[in-house]
Amino acid sequence: MKNIRTKTLKCELDRVIRSADGIYIAMLPYVNMSYDGIHENPLHPLQATKIVELSFMNIISAWEEFVQEVFLRYMIGGTSESGYSPSLRIGQCQNLSHALELISGKEGFDPSMDYLNWSNWPKVISKAKIFFEKAEPFSLLTENQKQLLKETVVLRNRVAHSSKKCKQAFTSLARKYLGLMANESLPRGFSV
């Protein structure tokens, strides 16, 4: 079987992150909520904020696709750029379609009609425990890395949803990073 490596997947994720970073830097001058910022710039600050939010969502989407594609390629015997390949618990899948059927539990799983959730890291590890010895490499994240992924989901949910729950979770996270007390209001520019 041809050696399937994950290098291309990592390059694509890196490309999306670099692009989003460029968009963020380009939008910084436009997010000023002052009189001058609103009346003198070609973009309203809220429009610039939406552009940054969409760019962030693009990173989240690319991350989830990266995790899925690496996971599936490991299931069919793929290796990392360094040559690492996890020990399979149930044997190698025949191809990507077979891997998708196994991980979804659906015969004929069609990724154009359905999707797998890769945003909840404890669930990713649970899936990995079924297919890989010690759930590796997915179980090797540090507690700090797992916490950052969890916080990323809070940000993603706030961008995608306006529910009270999402707003409260975002406000709590923003306070944490801004060093504010639980009852302090967020400063101007941190919309919920």
Taking a C-beta distance cutoff of 8 angstroms, is the pair 20, 58 a contact? yes
Q: What percent of the chain has pLDDT over 70?
A: 92
In the chain, where the domains are located: 7-140
Confidence at residue 30, expressed as pLDDT on a 0 to 100 scale: 81
Where residue 2 falls among pLDDT bands split at 50, 70, 90? Answer: very low
| pLDDT reading at 49 higher than 90 | no
| pLDDT reading at 133 higher than 50 | yes
- pLDDT greater at residue 137 or residue 37: 137
pTM: 0.87
Buried b (16+ CB within 10 A) or exposed e, 96-107: beebbbbbeeee
Where residue 4 falls among pLDDT bands split at 50, 70, 90? Answer: low
